[in-house]
Amino acid sequence: MASDQPALTIESLDVAYGAIRAVQEVSLAVARGRVTALVGSNGAGKSSVLRASAGLAPARSGRVLVGDTDVTRLPARKRLLEHGVALVPEGRSAFTTMTVRENLDLGLRVGRARAAAGVAATFSLDEAFELFPVLAQRADNRAQVLSGGEQQMLAIARSLLMSPSVLLVDEPSMGLAPLLVRRIFAVMADVFQRHQVSVLLVEQDTAIALELASDGYVLEFGRIVAAGPSAELRDDPRLRRAYLGEGNRP
Amino acid sequence: MIQYLIDGLATGSLYVLLALGFTLVFGVMGMMNVAHADLYMLAVFSFLWLGTDAGLGTAPGFVLGVAAAVAAGWLIFVVVLSRVDKAVPLALFVGTLGVSYVIENLVAKLVEFRARSVPPLFATTTWEVAGLRVTNSDVVVLMATLAMGLGLLAWLKLSSTGKLLRAVSENTQLAEVVGIDTGRMMALSVVIASAIAGLGGLLVANKTQGINPFVANDVSLKMFAVAVVAGAGSVGGAMLVGFALGVVESLAVAYVGSTWQNVIGLLAMVGVLLFRPQGLFGRYNRVG
């Protein structure tokens, strides 16, 4: 398999909820071992692209490929267990009545299934505890006691334990204080880099997303309106006006 | 006084055994199976038909009775529970209520609308200790209830499959995201619940020595009450509340009058729900 082949490819994807077309003709590629950002304003259809990639929202037409395997028709569970498409959902996504360790075990369980299918684990429980010391301290407490940011860290650690071939991260900044968002993005940058994780990141905070990502796509009303290396998108004057807040100041 | 307590715990066993399964399925599927108590009745009649009438004997009849409850529960799951749109709770309520009517009337037709007496599973002996009367069938019911309830709790807490079941119970969508086969877990919860209902039904019928096709009408309400007061989805809570309801009823009969038996428990239910709508042990804020 060529190493320049994308980890995830989406080809002219359409997602519709009844008569509402949330996503139209979206095509994108997530390069292996790198972070690709999908940015855009609220309601642009970013999460729909992500959920359709994971198999949690129905694709009306188009294809989703992992490496060169078409997974469009596979249910979410098979995409995860057989092809390593892992999702970090938006918002608080820990099982709060279970302990932190039990939550992480759910990730390890997928990782073991992946190992049985021949995908070597790259991330261990020890590493998770080292990276997020609060998870080690709270290992035997219910996840309920964790703050929103800590639950986000737990969800990220849990998904990394699944040995994902592509990691879909949905709005990690949601509902968190700006300082905490910075910290979580710093940790993600570090761990994604170190483990060469292929990531599709959906984020409303365009500036911080393009800082973490090497490539980016801009979604508007369900369509891709701009794409390119993050550095170029950051400097695009139209984007600066529309998403980075410039020109809106009094 | 202690005598009423013992009688109450024995009565409470039935409420516990039914509410355990009902609340387990409700937790995992987010669905009420109104026909759940009918599985108890079905197990006992299957025992009578196969064990007694067909002459297969007590032990095979017992096993087949439990198997019949599991088979019926499985069928309800495949035909109704897994097909009805979860977003319409009323459809589910009406659907399982319909199933309940069908089962009850079908059985009633087969036995020509008569109650039947149930032969004992084993020779009954009554012990008198310090003026208290305890039968061995009481002891068996009580011990079996405790064993099944605590066993289920321990299994949910400690086993790897039990943990997956708890994950589905807390948040089905998130369970999908972490790769749990939620459909399989739902089927498993139905099988466990049906087996407990069948087993419990046979042990209780051994004590009451009778069964009628419409017995679910009397116990369903108690089963709902126990599950709701405990907090829907709470297995441990269902045990405590089920025994408590049995004891309260027994005391009500003794000190207030037997006509109050059914009133007291339901009054207590309304009282609890006024102050704790999520139930006594409710952790319930279900997503999706």
User: Which residues of chain B lie closer than 8 angstroms to A87, CB-CB?
Assistant: 177
Q: Find the mean pLDDT for residues B113-138.
A: 85
* Predicted pLDDT at B164: 96
* Predicted pLDDT at A248: 44
Query: What's the whole-number average pLDDT of chain B?
Result: 89
**Ramachandran sector of residue A74 (left: φ over 0; alpha: ψ -120 to 50; beta: rest):** beta
B8 located within any domain: no
* Predicted pLDDT at A3: 58
Beta strands in chain A, from DSSP E residues, in sequence order: 8-17, 20-30, 35-39, 59-66, 69-70, 85-88, 166-170, 199-203, 215-220, 223-229
B223 located within any domain: no
pTM, 2 dp = 0.88
Strands A199-203 and A35-39: parallel
Look up residue B247 and give its DSSP letter.
Answer: H
Q: Find the mean pLDDT for residues B182-191.
A: 95
Which tokens hold the place of A49?
A: 């692209």
* Predicted pLDDT at A246: 52
φ, ψ of residue B228 to 5 degrees: the values are -75, -45
Look up residue B107 and give its DSSP letter.
Answer: H
pLDDT band at B109 (very low <50, low <70, confident <90, very high): very high
Residue of A106, A112, A163 to mutate, interface with B, max B Cβ within 10 Å = A106
User: Which residues of chain A lie closer than 8 angstroms to B171, CB-CB?
Assistant: 95
Which tokens hold the place of A3?
A: 């190493």
B176 located within any domain: yes
Identify the residue with better confidence: B120 or B63. Answer: B63
- 164-203 in B: which are within 8 Å (CB) of A? 164, 166-167, 170-171, 173-174, 176-181
B199 located within any domain: yes
B92 located within any domain: yes
| pLDDT, tens digit, 9 for 90 and up, residues B249-268 | 888 888 888 888 788 877 87
Count Cβ atoms below 10 Å from residue B238 Cβ, excluding itself: 32
Question: B171 to chain A nearest CA, in Å?
Answer: 7
* Predicted pLDDT at B123: 81
Architecture of the domain delimited by A8-91+167-243: 3-Layer(aba) Sandwich (3.40)
* Predicted pLDDT at A244: 59
For chain A, the domains span 8-91+167-243
How many domains in chain B?
1
| DSSP secondary structure string for all residues of A159-207 | HHTT--SEEEEE-TTTT--HHHHHHHHHHHHHHHHHHT--EEEEES-HH
Residue A224 contacts residue A32 (beta carbons within 8 Å) = no
Question: B34 to chain A nearest CA, in Å?
Answer: 27
How far is the CA of A217 from the CAs of A17, A33, A183, A203, in angstroms?
23, 17, 24, 11
Domain span at residue B176 reads 23-215
Per-residue pLDDT tens digits of chain A, which is 250 residues long: 445 789 999 999 999 988 888 999 999 999 999 999 999 888 889 999 999 999 999 899 999 999 999 999 999 999 999 999 999 999 889 999 999 999 999 999 999 999 998 888 889 999 999 999 999 999 999 999 999 999 999 999 999 999 999 999 999 998 899 999 999 999 999 999 999 999 999 998 899 999 999 999 999 889 999 999 999 998 887 777 666 555 444 4
Which sign does the torsion angle of CA A180, A250, A230, A43 carry? positive
B78 located within any domain: yes
B156 located within any domain: yes
Answer yes or no: is pLDDT of B243 > 90.
yes
Q: Per mean pLDDT, which range of A125-139, B59-73, B77-91 is the poorest?
A: B77-91
* Predicted pLDDT at B283: 61
- Cα(A71)–Cα(A13) distance, rounded to whole angstroms? 13
